[in-house]
Amino acid sequence: MGKNKLKKFAEMEQLPNVFQFPFAALRENGFPLKGHWNSDYFHNDNPIVLELGCGRGEYTVGLAERIAAKNYIGVDIKGARMWAGAKHAALAGLGNVAFLRTNIELIDSFFAPGEVSEIWITFPDPQMKKVRKRLTSTRFLELYRHVLVHDGIVHLKTDSPFLYTYTDELVRLNGFDVEINTADLYHSGCDDEILGIKTYYEQQWLDRGLAIKYIKFHLDADTQLQEPDIEIEHDTYRSFSRGYIQKMITPPEGE
């Protein structure tokens, strides 16, 4: 492991807005803030919003900076990425931000039923070959139900035509209440200060001329969830690594 990563991990241990809870301790004693995030960490009664797979935490921090009346928690397993957002939030004194380093599959170990009001899923891996790993699959929606309020809101923002088509069909099949559904966010008239927050990778996709897709829907607590049974064309541009894409869109020095 590189020195830079080790330095970030060491800093993460000291940041007051970061929670890294070993699985052994979780299994033995549970997570002490479960059901008590508002009273014991945020010290208010504002709604709690999760960003799942938050990466660098750009969306988590961007939301917190724009809407002080909500509390935001970025969730990811990769601490070296999360470090950037966590440090920025700490230095900026953002009291409505926290970061949780864990697998998304474990979120119901960290949040009580109804403790979360909204979930953001921003630019996840579309998992074109593995339905169970898609963050909008019925497997994960059932998990979100464990922590969301009744009719809680789920936001999906993605560059992937595959994941958008899959989620669009899943939402339609299950009859969810949809507030916004667009295959081209920035030409839809729906974008605003919140939807206009752009992550590092989102800007790369935009620079390549890719349309950003967005779905906002309510996840009820009662529907028997059904998986779509449709053939969806795979994304082709995913054959390039994100590092390669960065080289493609960064002009040579001096230009």
Q: Enumerate the active-site residues.
A: 125
Distances from the Cα of 4 to the Cα of 8, 10, 80, 223, angstroms: 6, 10, 9, 47
Assign 177 to helix, strand or coil: strand
Pair 115, 90: CB distance under 8 Å: no
Nearest-angstrom CA–CA distance, 225 and 143: 12
Distances from the Cα of 54 to the Cα of 43, 80, 86, 228, angstroms: 23, 12, 11, 26
Distances from the Cα of 45 to the Cα of 52, 83, 181, 218, angstroms: 21, 27, 30, 21
**133: phi then psi, degrees, rounded to nearest 5:** -95, -5
Distances from the Cα of 168 to the Cα of 177, 183, 247, angstroms: 12, 10, 32
120 burial (CB, 10 Å; 0-12 / 13-18 / 19+) is buried
